[in-house]
Chain A
Amino acid sequence: MSKATRQAFGESLAAWGEKRKDIVVLDADLAKSTKSELFMKKFPERFFEMGISEANMIGVASGLAFQGKLPFLCSFGAFLTGRYDTIRLSVAYAGANVRLIGTHAGVGIGDDGHSQMGLEDVALMRALPTMGVFQPADEIETALIMDHLVEKWSGPAYLRLTRQSLPIYTDKANWRAEKIHHVRKPSNPNAPVVLLGSGAGTQEAMKAAEILESKGIAASVFNAHCLKPYDTKGTIDAIANAKLVVSVEDHSVIGGLGACIEETLAANGSGKKLMKIGVQDLFGESGEPDELFDKFGISGKIVAESVARALK
């Protein structure tokens, strides 16, 4: 039953297209992969195929926003954020109300290898003033974030999506936009381990928690869908009783979720120890997603081993 977050995005976008006639969608020859084609099929007059010209697509989206449209522009996260200067000036600095959609996040895409993997995209987007950065962990959360991005958010925002399917963890009733979300209660309220995941990282954090619990180590898991503005208060509350805080993400440990938490801990004078799980300042490579998750130390199994070792 699980879906890739890119699929859930495409479905939500097509649904919003009915209600909001100001939505326009642009893609750079990846509509089948980003799933913007679901919108294109329903609203061809509001879909613009921009060809393999991401920088131009970004500038055009700004111009459309200045004419009162709400543009969603879609490509692989690696390619989109690679046109950083155009995003920096024509979108962010210009205050353009644009939604940048970057799919194919992380080593989780597998075979295609490094050039196609968004691995520094969150770091790049977080560094831009006014830019919101969002990353859902499952299909339900994707739809909730999309609602937020259409109805509430104003200004530029980046949405990071996976190629691969992810199981559902989101509890709709307790979910709040821009706040971390408790997705796994530990067996013991004073659990020594608090894991925070984002995107595909949440699935691995959940797997790691199961393994740790089976070894008698209580572990709590939170999901962070908003990497900017980051929920610092929620994080401080969530880790109050933790001995070890663990961030899990399929992204570079520089500038992503781990950095959000690190900045939060440091700024609040917390002496908590943080283990940053993610791509450790390395390039990605081709391979089976599961094998790559093991190789880069992101899989739940490896995370559990690393955590158990650190607690000894």
Chain B
Amino acid sequence: MIRIMKSAKDLALLSCEFRISILEMLRDAKSGHPGGSLSAIDLMTAVWFHSMKGVNDPKHLKDDRDRFVLSKGHGVPALYAILANLGFIEKSELPTLRRTGSRLQGHPDRVRLPIVEASTGSLGQGLSVAQGIAMGQRLNGYSNARTFCLLGDGEIQEGQVWESALSCAKYKLSNLCAILDANDAQIDGKVSEVMPLEPLADKWRSFGWNVIELDGHDYPAILKALDQFEKDQKSDKPLFIVARTVKGKGVSFMEHKIEWHGVAPKAEECERAVAEVKKYALSLGGN
């Protein structure tokens, strides 16, 4: 089964395209969540274009392909940007985000758009669904199939996440990789103040998971961790990646600003933001 396997530099460039796409989608929708989409996009770009197998050709999807669950459903513009690049949705469809009748619901909807795998948006549920998918892949004998799940840090304040944390370890789901987009920001303030989660790595390790901590915008580090996940398929533990990220990453006036959690950029703001991302892409050697 084919995977895309882009290099770190290719991925960084690709993520610039996705950042622009996210900003424009939200500008058009006039609502949505830029902060958490921008903090997650590097992680998601790496998963979809480096690690996942069988998602390169939307017309020929096989049952034993890898799966991705976006548990932090409000980050879905990041996923739509990726799906548009891969041809699962038309790029011309992106401006329909959040519009009446669109498949591009404000949060992932599996019935309207099956490739999103799980319907999420009420936080704390996606890991359980990803666990079920990973267990199903085993039952179906898809020995090379893996499931990825992206969670927000505020999200894991939900108790159901910890039920699944226990359960994934019990079932030794080494085909499951959960990635935490730890941007330390949630609606009411800093995660570390609203409801502290640290020590995160120790918590997940004590629950029986392999844990890797990294900078969630450092592509070489992300790729190394994802490659390690692949090597550890024979281990008897699921992998938890604690990715330290910046909310609003890539747009200086949004970075670290909780105010940008759930507010869409206006046309002028979008223009400034896109210009900044384009400038960064140029510095990487893009065009």
Chain A residues with a Cβ under 8 A of chain B: 24, 46, 48, 50-51, 53, 55-56, 58-69, 85-86, 88-90, 93-95
**Closest chain A residue to B164, Cβ basis:** A56
The reply on B93 being an interface residue by CB < 8 A is no
Asked if residues B167 and A86 are in contact (CB atoms below 8 Å), the reply is no
Give, as a whole number of angstroms, the nearest-CB distance from A201 to chain B.
33
Given contacts A53-B166, A55-B128, A89-B125, 14 further A-B contacts (CB under 8 A): A50-B167, A59-B160, A63-B133, A63-B134, A64-B133, A66-B110, A66-B133, A67-B137, A86-B128, A89-B119, A89-B120, A90-B118, A90-B125, A95-B111
Q: How would you classify the secondary structure of chain B's contact residues: helix, strand, loop or mixed?
A: helix
Whole-angstrom distance from the CB of B71 to the nearest CB of chain A?
10
Residues in chain B within 8 A of chain A (CB atoms):
63, 109-111, 117-122, 125-137, 139-140, 159-160, 163-164, 166-167, 170-171
Q: A24-B139, A63-B136, A67-B140 are in contact. Are A53 and B131 (CB under 8 A)?
A: no
* Complex interface: chain A residues within 8 A of B166 (CB): 51, 53
B248 to chain A, nearest CB (A): 27
The answer to whether A68 and B63 touch (CB under 8 A), given A58-B128, A93-B111, is yes
In contact, A93 and B129 (Cβ under 8 angstroms): no
Q: How far is the CA of A89 from the CA of B122 in the complex (A)?
A: 7
Q: How far is the CB of B11 from chain A (nearest CB, A)?
A: 28
B158, closest chain A residue (CB): A55
Instruction: Provide 27 A-B residue pairs closer than 8 Å at the C-beta atoms, listed in order of the A residue.
Output: A51-B163, A53-B160, A55-B125, A56-B164, A56-B167, A58-B128, A60-B128, A60-B131, A62-B128, A62-B129, A63-B118, A63-B129, A63-B133, A64-B135, A64-B136, A65-B132, A66-B118, A66-B136, A67-B133, A67-B137, A67-B140, A68-B63, A86-B122, A86-B128, A86-B160, A93-B111, A95-B111
A59 in contact with B132 (CB, 8 Å) = yes
Interface pair B63/A59, CB less than 8 Å apart: no
Residue of B nearest to A24 (CB): B139
Residue of B nearest to A28 (CB): B163
Cα distance A22–B176 when bound, in Å? 22
Cβ-defined contact, B132 with A61, below 8 A: yes
Contacts of A63 in B (CB 8 A): 118, 128-136
Contact with A90, one of B111, B119, B139, B167 (Cβ below 8 angstroms): B119
Q: Chain A nearest CB: distance from B61 CB in Å?
A: 13
B122 and A85 contact, CB distance less than 8 A: yes
Residue with the greatest number of chain B CB neighbours at <10 A, chosen from A60, A66, A85, A94: A60
For B127, what are the chain A residues with a Cβ–Cβ distance below 8 Å? 59
Say how far B67's CB is from chain A's closest CB, in angstroms: 8
Closest approach, in angstroms, between the C-beta of B30 and any C-beta of chain A? 24
